[in-house]
Structure formats: structure tokens, C-alpha cells
Amino acid sequence: MTKQQANWSPYDNNGGTVVAIAGADYCVIASDTRMSTGYSILTRDYSKIIQLADKSVMASSGFQADVRALQKVLEARHLIYQHQHNKQMSCPAMAQLLSNTLYFKRFFPYYAFNVLGGLDSEGKGCVFTYDAVGSYERVGYSSQGSGSTLITPFLDNQLKSPSPLLLPAKDAVTPLSESEAIELVKTCFVSATERDIYTGDKLEIVILNASGIRRDYMELRKD
């Protein structure tokens, strides 16, 4: 009698796309709100974005149960940080924490594809992009998830980010205004929705700037 194999996988891909763009004094973080499994849509109204700290917002796509667990771990760690340091975590600090948290499960990873956006200690927009096991870098813009292959080349074309290899280092944040960046994000998602079956339903945009945080929504195709 051959040994019985497990016929279930601890992972699933619940789809979705996330995007973030850093500006001179703002950061835009966006995601669709569709949650899928296989060829079925589970719900059309699930937020993939969470505010971890005053100036840090994370958007994650991938396996929803892992994403939620990751969010809870980071929320808890931030609470402890506040107790110990009597202040909010800065975005670069949260970026390092996220990387360490992901690598901690290097041999049973969080199947989560993250993008962390916010304002750095100088008030400039910052975006950090990650893989599932914590490898990360600060960039001017990023896209992760099922529609990322469609969106990233478009952003490369529109935002023309300077090479990180340049000396002296050139600023990666876009010279676009906040409203221009929001329009760009909407365009990204409308296009991705056309061709990616896992992206659609509704777009949630979070904008972080000196005045605080606000949310914007836009309907997307539901097919």
C-alpha cells in the first residue's frame, strides 16, 4: 500500500493587484477589492490595504489568510513599539520590520506580495516593494499581484524612474502632482481590469500626505 499523499495545499491565491506611487510630499497606495479562488469570485468588496502606523500603509495581495495574519503580526508589533518608544514607527522602520517578519517564515512563507507606502522622516513619499520572503528595496513606485505584469511596464514608461545606480543618486519620487498620480493609478487599474481576470470590481485608493490620510473609491468592471 503506497503512502497516502496529502491532497490539500496550505496555500491558495486569492488574487488582486496592488500599486503604490511616491511623490515629493505624498504617497498613493491603491488596490482592487476583488477576492477570488480558482475561477470563482468570493467577494467583490474586500480591502487589501491597512494602515499600520501614522505614516505607513501596506497593501498586500496573494493568499488572503496569510495576508491577514501578517497584518495582525505587524499591528501587534507596532503597538509594542509604541509602548516601548512612546512614538509611532517611521515608514523606513516599518519597512525593515516587514522584511524581518517575512524572512522569519522563510521556510514556510507568508504567501503575500506586499507594497509598503508612506512618508519618510523628511515628509517625502516613500514606497517599499517586497517579495514573499522579505527581500525589499525602496523605489519610486511599484506594483505587485496578479496584474503587476500588466501595470509595471506602463508605470516604467509613464514615470521614467532614474536608475538607482546613478551617482550622485537621483530622487526616485515622481515630480507628478498628487491628483496626476491618482489619475495615473486609476488608468493602471482600468487597464489591468480589462485583461486580468483576478482584477476588478472596485478600486480603493489611499492617499497619505502632510494633512493626513484619505480614501478614494472608483468602480471597476465586474466581469
Partner 1 sequence: MNVSDSTPAMNNLMGSEADSQRTLYPYVTGTSVVGIKYKDGILLAADMGGSYGSTLRYKTVERLKSVGKHSIIGASGEISDFQEIMRNLDDLILYDNMWDDGNSFGPKEVHNYLTRMMYNRRNKFNPLWNSLVLGGVKNGQKYLGTVSMIGVHYEDNHVATGFGNHLARPLLRDEWHENLTFEEGVKLLEKCMRVLLYRDRSAVNKLQIAKITEEGVTISQPYALKTFWGFSAFQNPTAGAEGSW
Nearer to partner 1, 5 or 157 (CB): 5
Rule CB under 8 A: say whether 187 interacts with partner 1. no
Site for partner 1 in 107-136 (CB under 8 A): 108
Rule CB under 8 A: say whether 101 interacts with partner 1. no
- Kindly tell me which residue out of 22, 53, 56, 63 binds partner 1, with binding defined by CB under 8 A: 63
DSSP assignment of 93-139: HHHHHHHHHHHHTTTS---EEEEEEEE-TTS-EEEEEE-TT--EEEE
Rule CB under 8 A: say whether 164 interacts with partner 1. no
**Nearest distance, CB of residue 26 and partner 1, angstroms:** 30
Rule CB under 8 A: say whether 167 interacts with partner 1. no
3-class SS of residue 16: coil
Mark 52-81 as b/e (b = at least 16 C-beta within 10 Å). bbbbbbbbbbbbbebbeebbebbeebbeeb
Query: Environment class of residue 124 by beta-carbon count within 10 Å: exposed (0-12), middle (13-18) or buried (19+)?
Result: middle
Q: Which stretch binds partner 1 (CB under 8 A): 39-47, 136-144, 147-155, 164-172?
A: 39-47
Composition of the chain by helix, strand, coil, percent to 5? 30, 35, 40
# residues near partner 1 by CB under 8 A: 26
Q: Which residues contact 77 (CB under 8 A, 6 or more apart)?
A: 97, 101
Rule CB under 8 A: say whether 212 interacts with partner 1. no
- Kindly tell me which residue out of 19, 35, 57, 206 binds partner 1, with binding defined by CB under 8 A: 35
Rule CB under 8 A: say whether 12 interacts with partner 1. yes
Mutual orientation of helices 148-159 and 178-195 as an angle, nearest 10°? 150
Rule CB under 8 A: say whether 138 interacts with partner 1. no
Positions in the binding site for partner 1 (CB under 8 A): 3-12, 14, 35, 37-38, 40-43, 45-46, 63-65, 68-69, 108
